[in-house]
Amino acid sequence: MSFLGDIFAQLEAAPDAIVLRQPREDGGVVELPGRELLLRVAKARGFLRGRGLQRGERCALLAHNSIDWVAMDLAIMAEGLIVVPLYARQAPVELVMMMKDCSPALICCGDQTLRDGISQNWEEAPPQVLFNEIFPASASASEKPQLAESDPVTIIYTSGTSGEAKGVVLTAGNVGHMLGCTSGRLNLLMEGKTDKDQVFHYLPFCFAGSWIMLLTCLLRGSRLTLNSDLTKLALEMRSAEPDYFLNVPALLERMRKAVDEQLWKAGALPRTIYSHAKRAWVHKHEGKATRADKVWLALAEAGIFPTIRRRMIGPNLKALICGSAPLNLETQLYFMMLGISVLQVYGLTETTAICTMDDPRRVEPGRVGPAIDGIEMKLGESDEIVVRGPNVFPGYWNRPQETGKSLGDGWFHTGDQGEVDATGNWRIRGRIKNLIILGSGHNIAPEPIEDELLQHMNGVQQVVLVGNGRGYLSAIVTGDVVREKVQAALDVVNAQLPHYKQVRAFHVHPEPFSIENGLLTANGKLKRDLIAKRLQAEIEELYAQKQAS
C-alpha cells in the first residue's frame, strides 16, 4: 500500500477523531474529524474526475494553508494527478513562469485575488477554479488511491543560483520512505504518551518540509492545528498546547527577543534573576560555572523559566523542531536553558526535505543529527555533502541537463559544506553555492536582484546581497554613490519583488571589489565568502541598526 493508502486507512480507522483544527476569524475553531476530511477529499476527487483530467497531468494548487488545501492536495494525488503547490505570497509573474514550465491542466485557487493575479499575468492560462466552486460538488469518488512507488506525486519549485526556479519531482516512494523516517523519530520523542500528538503548524504547505510534516501528522492520526493568520501566531500557538511543531530559525529568534523584552519590563527581582541566570548558563556551557552561577540557575529554574515556558507555548511541549535554514547556536542554547529541546533537521527539497534529523535522546547543540534511516551521506570534493537513497528525487521537471549535473555519479550533490563526527552526527558549515537562505527558509538567488539594482544606480561598481540565516536581505554597494540614490533604486526594485526578496538595508563601501584587493577572482567573479568575512563588522552593524530602529 502507498503512503496515501496508509493515510486514508488511518482516517477510516478513526473516523470520529479530530485530525485538523482551523481557527476562525470570529475566534471560534473549526474541528474536522477524519470522516469529514475523507468526505471533502471524495468531493474534490469527483470534481477533478468531472473535468476529464488524465493520470500524470499536473494540477496547480495556489492557496494559503487551510483545511480545504489539505483536502485538495490529497484528492489530486488520489486521482493519479501531480500536485504543483505554489506559494500564495509569491509575485504572480513568478508563479506564472513556474506554471508555464510544468503546464498544469487545471489551477485550483483558494480565493479570487489569487485567481486574478494569474489571469492578469497569463492570457492563455489553463482553467482556474476556486475552492468554493469545488467542494459544493455533489459528485464524489472514494476508490482507494492506486500509486506505484515510481509514480510522481508532486513537483515542488525551488530557486537555483541562476534565479530560475526548477521543479523538483518527488515520487510516492520518496514520500513514503520519508514519512516512515519522520514518524519513527517522533515515536522516540513521544515515547510513553498514550494519546494522539497535538501539533501546531504555521509554515506554508507548499514548502517541502512543511508538507512532509502535514502528511506525517495525517499518517499518525495527530491533531493538527493550522495557523492562517501570522498576526495571531503567538495566541494560537499557546491555545493549541502542542507537543511539538515545525519552525524556521527566524521565529525562534523572534520568540527569544520577545522574552527578553518582556522580562526587561518586569519587576526588578525577576529581571535580575533572569539576567544573572543567562550569564550563568553561558558559563555552564563553557564548563566554567561557579557556585554563584549554580545559585542563579536554581532560582531561575524554580520560578522564572517554568513561567516563560508556560506563557510562550503551553504546558505540553516536548520539543521545537527547526529546519530550512541554519539555526544560530546561541538561540538553540537559549531554549535549552529554558528546558526546551530544539531538534534540528537538515535537508533539501531534492531529498524530500530531509537528510538528517536529531535523535531526541542525543541532541548535540550546533549539529543537525545523524542521517535518516536507509540513506547514505558522505563528503565529496571541497567537503560537499553528497547523498543517495530512497529519499533522493528522480530529477528536475523537463531539465535533463540539470538532473544529470546533480545526479550524474549516482549521488545527489547538495551544494552544502559539512562535517561529520565519529558517531555520525552532522554539522553544516556553509553553502558552496551562492544561494541565500533566509531565516524564514526562503531560498533566494542573489544575482538577478543584484543585476536589477545595478541598472538603477549610476556610479555603482558592484552590488552584493547578504542575509544567510537572517530575517531579511541587505546589500553591500561599492563605488562613488550617495545614499539617497541607493535608497531610490531600492524603492523601485523592491516594489517589483515579493516581500522576502526585498532588500531592507544597505552599506556603501567606497572601494570597489577587485582582483587587486583580493575580492574578485581572476575572471572577475565575486568572492562572496571573503567579502562577507572582510566586511563582517559592517554587516553586523547593518542588522544591529535595523533591529534597534
483: three-class secondary structure by DSSP: helix
What does the pLDDT read at residue 521? 63
Helix (H) or strand (E) holding 86: strand 82-86
Reported pTM: 0.84
Label each residue of 214-280 as H, E or C. Answer: HHHHHHHCCEEEECCCHHHHHHHHHHHCCCEEEECHHHHHHHHHHHHHHHHHCCHHHHHHHHHHHHH
Torsion sign, CA atoms 180, 185, 191, 196: negative
Beta bridge partners of 123: none
Helix (H) or strand (E) holding 47: helix 34-50
Helices of type H across 86-207: 92-102, 112-119, 131-134, 172-189
Cβ–Cβ under 8 Å, residues 456 and 506 = no
What does the pLDDT read at residue 371? 96
Give residue 373's Cα distance to chain centre. Answer: 22
Cα 383 from Cα 368, distance rounded (Å):
16
Burial of 454 (0-12, 13-18, 19+ CB in 10 A): middle
Task: Give, rounded to a whole angstrom, the gap between the first and last alpha carbons of the chain.
Answer: 55
DSSP state of 123: T
Cα 205 from Cα 197, distance rounded (Å):
19
Cα 537 from Cα 307, distance rounded (Å):
36
Beta bridge partners of 475: 465, 506
Give residue 363's Cα distance to chain centre. Answer: 21
What does the pLDDT read at residue 329? 84
Cα 411 from Cα 523, distance rounded (Å):
30
What does the pLDDT read at residue 161? 38
Beta bridge partners of 359: 362
26: three-class secondary structure by DSSP: coil
Residue 437: other Cβ atoms inside 10 A: 21
User: Residue 70: phi, psi to the nearest 5?
Assistant: -60, -45
Residuewise pLDDT in 10s, the chain (549 residues): 899 999 999 999 999 999 999 998 888 899 999 999 999 999 999 999 999 999 999 999 999 999 999 999 999 999 999 999 999 988 898 899 999 999 999 999 999 999 999 999 999 999 999 999 999 877 677 788 899 999 999 999 986 434 578 999 999 999 999 999 999 999 999 998 888 999 999 999 999 999 999 999 999 999 999 998 888 888 899 899 999 999 988 789 888 888 888 888 888 888 899 999 999 998 888 888 899 989 999 999 998 999 888 888 888 999 999 998 778 888 899 999 999 999 999 999 999 999 999 999 999 999 999 999 999 999 998 889 999 999 999 999 999 999 999 998 999 999 888 999 999 999 988 777 778 889 988 888 788 898 889 878 878 889 999 999 899 999 999 998 899 999 999 999 999 999 999 999 999 999 999 877 878 765 566 888 889 999 999 999 988 876 655
Burial of 243 (0-12, 13-18, 19+ CB in 10 A): buried
Nearest to 90 by CA among 66, 121, 67: 121
Interacting residues of 491 by C-beta distance below 8 A, sequence separation 6+: none
Question: Treating both helix axes as pointing N-terminal to C-terminal, what angle do 249-265 and 305-312 enclose, rounded to 10 degrees?
Answer: 130
Cα 257 from Cα 251, distance rounded (Å):
10
Interacting residues of 277 by C-beta distance below 8 A, sequence separation 6+: 296, 297, 299, 300, 304, 305, 337
Domain 445-548 CATH (choose: 3.20.190.10, 3.30.300.30, 3.30.950.10, 3.40.50.300): 3.30.300.30
**Assigned C-alpha cell, 266:** 518586569
Interacting residues of 517 by C-beta distance below 8 A, sequence separation 6+: 511
**Assigned C-alpha cell, 202:** 504555521
Cα 225 from Cα 223, distance rounded (Å):
7
Report the relative pairing of strands 503-509 and 473-479 from DSSP bridges. parallel
What does the pLDDT read at residue 454? 85
Q: 3-240 falls under which CATH superfamily?
A: ANL, N-terminal domain (3.40.50.12780)
Question: Treating both helix axes as pointing N-terminal to C-terminal, what angle do 446-455 and 483-494 enclose, rounded to 10 degrees?
Answer: 120
Q: How far is CA 183 from CA 32, 39, 207, in A?
A: 22, 25, 19
Cβ–Cβ under 8 Å, residues 147 and 77 = yes
Q: 251-315+317-431 falls under which CATH superfamily?
A: ANL, N-terminal domain (3.40.50.12780)
Cα 107 from Cα 118, distance rounded (Å):
9
Cα 259 from Cα 252, distance rounded (Å):
11
Nearest to 355 by CA among 306, 289, 412, 394: 412
Cα 352 from Cα 475, distance rounded (Å):
32
Residues of the chain with CATH 3.40.50.12780: 3-240, 251-315+317-431
What does the pLDDT read at residue 387? 98
Cα 441 from Cα 250, distance rounded (Å):
8
